[in-house]
Amino acid sequence: MQKRIRGRKFHRKAGPRKALLKALASSLILKGKIETTEAKAKELSSFIEKKITKAIKRDLAARRDLAKLFAPQIVKKLMDEIAPLYKNQPGGYTRIIKTGPRGSDGAKMAIIELTESAKLKTQNAKRKNK
């Protein structure tokens, strides 16, 4: 009997699939908004929301767990800048906006962004002005 398996495979083995999600998540954390295929955006949404929930705890165990996946600068930004914005929010940290098909191969495209990315941009602008 065939069972339902959670998650998408993206025609990749486990290692490259995990690396893809880590790279997409790193880009999303640094930039606040990225454009990718719809399927990758949907998979990334659940992946990054779990990491943000972990970062909201703001303890040493959470920092070490995130450090296993991400570079130190990304962990620092996630723990110090992004997590405090979502402290009182129970979930829904990302937004997926569907765009038109990609011109070259017709793949369904989407923009995934952090819901508080506007606040992040204003904070970064204030820091640069100081």
pTM over 0.95: no
Alpha-carbon gap, residue 25 to 98, rounded angstroms: 18
Answer for the pair 76, 84: CB distance below 8 angstroms, yes or no. no
Give the orientation angle of helix 38-57 with respect to helix 60-69, to 10 degrees. 150
40 within domain boundaries: yes
How many structural domains are present in the chain?
A: 1
59 within domain boundaries: yes
pLDDT digits (tens, 9 = 90+) for 2-33: 888 788 899 999 999 999 999 999 999 999 99
Alpha-carbon gap, residue 5 to 7, rounded angstroms: 6
24 within domain boundaries: yes
1 within domain boundaries: no
| Both structure tokens of 16 | 């490259």
Give me the percent of the chain exceeding a pLDDT of 70. 93
Give me the residues paired with residue 54 across strands.
none
4 within domain boundaries: no
8 within domain boundaries: no
64 within domain boundaries: yes
Tell me which of 103 and 127 has the higher pLDDT. Answer: 103
Specify the CATH number for the domain of residue 113.
Answer: 3.90.1030.10
Alpha-carbon gap, residue 118 to 114, rounded angstroms: 9
Alpha-carbon gap, residue 27 to 73, rounded angstroms: 12
pLDDT digits (tens, 9 = 90+) for 85-107: 999 989 899 999 999 999 999 99
| Both structure tokens of 9 | 């495979």
Residue 51 CB neighbours (<10 A): 24
52 within domain boundaries: yes
Domain of 53, in residue numbers: 14-129
